[in-house]
Structure 1
């Protein structure tokens, strides 16, 4: 066992330890620059997904908003509550600034990887679609890279569906026990039953549940943070200055100064928003949209919601309270967030935070399950295998909830996530020229006066696309006067 642990520790050192974070940052800056700062170009367009006017007309399909909310449910989790507190404790207030910075860069990375997932998605035949990094590796890079897609799928399933779901079950049960006194076994049974009901409904049921609980989760937490900001409005400018000053070394809150702030901010920000890690594109591919870039823009918005909004809520709750003392030890993680909330609005806030943690953890569980279902589809299409996966997820969630030490078994999750991130980054950089082609197609249609660009796969005949996955393509000939700009460069990346 010690040999296995050492092996995975080595993988984690080689990925998260020194290579992955710089690569994510460099690739993010490269994509931002080469795409013409696309995340800022279409920033106001991101909010259109919230309007009912932009939803799918097919009642069986997953709408852009539902796909957004499922991905937000996955990105937003314990890291937004406990992770931000850890970043501030170890890196000082300046870590918050670098979390913001990596999120703004990551928005471009997320847009590209999600657009590629949409481009290479496949129709399931029941009005839904499936895709993601494994799909754009096989159909974008070619069948000779199928082995790489299998590695990606195995890492995705092991890290998210098994490892992280055990952690989320543990978080869920721990919060219920500590604040409400509910025994772990009862929480585990409840969570397992609800999880089973949802996962056996497939992506449609997952999307419908997310459409309800994610707005409640996000808006409730934002409202609490806004209340605290209003109550401490006179102190807000000073807190913002402290964040900036610590980020650039004008003030030092912890040992390590700028280096500590930069390292903690980048690491926690990347862990939280998952931009470039290759998880969210699996959900992005399920949406019924008119153009791949439309869903890319939507998923870019998901990163914004996760870090710029939700993580900032936690940061201001902590930094506006007297509980946080720079350099002090002993209070960390969720305890720091909890005590900060209590200091602002009273003891009842700990129950509010427990409820928020429960929703955050549960939304992540159903998201993580779907990632496993997508990964399984890459390896086999046998219904029995899917049934076994669903039972395994229910069992793992129960195990994680009832046994406080059970999560130690899943120590391999972070190292495997590092591997799948590297595989995904390699794939999107090889396919980046293709992403630019569809981005240029989208821009050309907007320039021609088309308010809602439509993707026509026939204009990209050199790409291995599923034409049945684009039911709106017939609208292109009627409203798209743009010349065949998308097919001028047939070379595959």
Structure 2
């Protein structure tokens, strides 16, 4: 076991230690510059999807539903505990660097999610499926199928198995701390709740996210706004400390500006998942007329996660009187103490409820990532059923046994591997992504309200034309999905 752990530790040191974060930062900056700051140019368009309903008769997943599933997955423990750790170890300046990486990460997310849309495939029931595995196979070619398989294995192991056990453990710990509820009972309840959703498939997952995520997000944002209003005179000082610490003008932790940059970048990337190859799996399920339409929407998911939710946690902590730079304290505990200092002991109950919603939305998101990855190996119902049972069991085990999650030490290293695989694929397919962005931009500038993809503009690509029916004016129909593809040249 020690040999295995050392092996995965080495992988973690290689990915998260020195290669992955610079790669993400450089590529995010490159995508931003090459696209002429596409995430800022189309920032206003991102919010229009929030008021749009599902297309057709409800047989497809709407752009908004896909967005909310993605937000529910991105927003999790990293927004509550991870931000607290970043501020404790990196000082207030870490918040600025979280914002910075989110802004460039919005461009990375836009490109990876647009590619996932372009290469998505139509399922037998008329729904769509796609993601990095699909754009590796159909975009880079069959010779790279081994890379897609490596990606899929890492995705299932890290997200569907490891992170779901961690989420169950987090919820059970919060409920025990706040309400004294036995881990066994909370584990049973959480496992049953998870089963009811995942056995309903992506449509039920989307419907649940459409309800849970707005409640979760607006409740947390509302609490943060109350904290800011209560401490309005102290707000300018906090903002000054964020910027002064970010650039080394002042320093409150050992390591100074280096610690602020390292903690801010790492926690920001870990939280918003831009470039890690997870969100594209969800982006591909939406019915849209142009891939970049959903890419723009998914960029909003990064903004909501980091610029909004993470900022809420940061301000609640920095405006409290419990924050001690460099202190050795658990992230969730620091956030809990900060809330209690503002509102009293009842705030710990609110935080437990927030953790419950955050974790639940992450679990159903992580499950769907595993289901999409599983499609690389098998299309059968049996495989999905086994995966669903395994996820439910791991949620229960993670919740009921406090130390059970220690066996999932491979999760973070494998997430680093799948991120590197995804980034290499996105970089190789970047000319196609940039072509889509330019096509989308040209249509918008020509006054087209909803740009439409023309598959004929990509004759050399292995596209599923049945996933893009709008060019012929035929509405999408699950009764006749078809699987015709533009042949690869």
Taking structure 2 as the reference length, the TM-score comes to 0.96
Structure 2 gaps of 5+ residues are 475-486
The equivalent residue for 1:35 is 35
| Cα distance in 2 between the residues matched to 1:86 and 1:427 | 32
- Cα 1:70/1:367, change in 2 over 3 Å: same
Distance (whole Å) between structure 1 residues aligned to residue 56 and residue 344 of structure 2: 46
The 8 Å contact of residues 462 and 488 in structure 2, kept in 1 or not, is answered as no
Which residue of structure 1 aligns with residue 484 of structure 2?
none
2:403: which partner in 1?
405
Q: Secondary structure at the match of 2:217?
A: helix
Mapped pair 1:474 → 2:472: yes
Residue 339 (structure 2) pairs with residue 347 (structure 1): no
Q: 5 Å matches for 1:422-461?
A: 422-461=420-459
1:127, 1:63 → 2: CA distance? 13
Aligned mates of 2:225, 2:67 — CA distance in 1 = 23
User: Are positions 1:201 and 2:200 aligned together?
Assistant: yes
Aligned-partner SS, 2:375: helix
Equivalent residue of 1:263, what SS?
A: helix
1:379 aligned partner: 377
Contact 1:89 1:332 in 2 (8 A): no
Can you give the 5+ residue segments of structure 1 that lack an aligned partner in the other structure? 477-489
Give CA-to-partner distance per residue, 1:24-60, whole Å, 9 cap, x none.
Answer: 000100110101110000001100111126x422411
Name 1:185's counterpart in structure 2: 184
The answer on 1:225 being equivalent to 2:217 is no
Give the equivalent residue in structure 1 for 2:160. 161
Q: How does 1:92-491 map to 2 (within 5 A)?
A: 92-327=91-326, 329-475=327-473
Aligned residue pair count:
477
Q: Quote the Cα distance in structure 1 between the aligned partners of 2:313 and 2:29.
A: 26
Output the CA distance in 2 between the equivalents of 1:127 and 1:312: 39
- What do the CA deviations read for 1:170-193 (whole angstroms, capped 9, x no partner)? 001111111011101111111111
SS in 2 for 1:204: helix
> Which 10-residue stretch deviates more, 10-19 or 458-467?
458-467
In 1, are the aligned partners of 2:461 and 2:488 still within 8 Å (CA)?
no
Whether the 8 Å CA contact 1:71–1:280 is kept in 2: the answer is: yes
1-structure distance, mates of 2:468, 2:169: 41
Task: Quote how far apart the aligned CAs of 1:444 are.
Answer: 1.2
For 2:225 and 2:254, the matched residues in 1 are separated by 31
- 1:5-44 alignment runs, 5 A limit: 5-44=5-44
1:381 CA displacement: 1.1
Task: Using the TM superposition, name which of 311-320 and 123-132 deviates more.
Answer: 123-132
Q: Report the CA distance between 1:332 and its aligned residue.
A: 3.5
3-state DSSP of counterpart to 2:276: coil
Q: What's the CA shift for 1:362? A: 0.6
CA–CA distance in structure 1, aligned partners of residues 36 and 57 of structure 2:
34
Once residues 57 and 105 of structure 2 are traced to their aligned partners in structure 1, the CA distance between those partners, rounded to angstroms, is 31
Which position in structure 1 is the counterpart of 2:477? Answer: none
Q: Please say if 1:48 is aligned against 2:70.
A: no
CA distance in 2, matches of 1:298, 1:314: 24
RMSD of aligned alpha carbons: 1.3
Q: Distance in 1 between matches of 2:146 and 2:248?
A: 46
Deviation at 1:197, TM superposition (A): 1.1
Q: Secondary structure at the match of 1:472?
A: helix
CA distance in 1, matches of 2:359, 2:112: 25
1:161·1:368 contact (CA, 8 Å) conserved in 2? Answer: yes
CA offsets 1:407-448 (integer angstroms, 9 cap, x no match): 011100001001000000000000000001111111111122
Report the Cα distance in structure 2 between the residues aligned to 1:99 and 1:153, rounded to whole angstroms: 28
| Offset, 1:325 | 2.5
Cα distance, 1:474 vs. partner? Answer: 2.3
Cα contact 1:188–1:402 (8 A) shared by 2 = yes
Q: Distance in 2 between matches of 1:57 and 1:93?
A: 47
Deviations 1:121-161 (A, max 9, x none): 00013231000000000000001110100000000000000
- The separation in 2 between residues aligned to 1:231 and 1:195, in whole angstroms, is 37
Distance 2:340 2:458 in 1: 57
Instruction: Please say which of residues 202-211 and 441-450 is displaced more in the overlay.
Output: 441-450
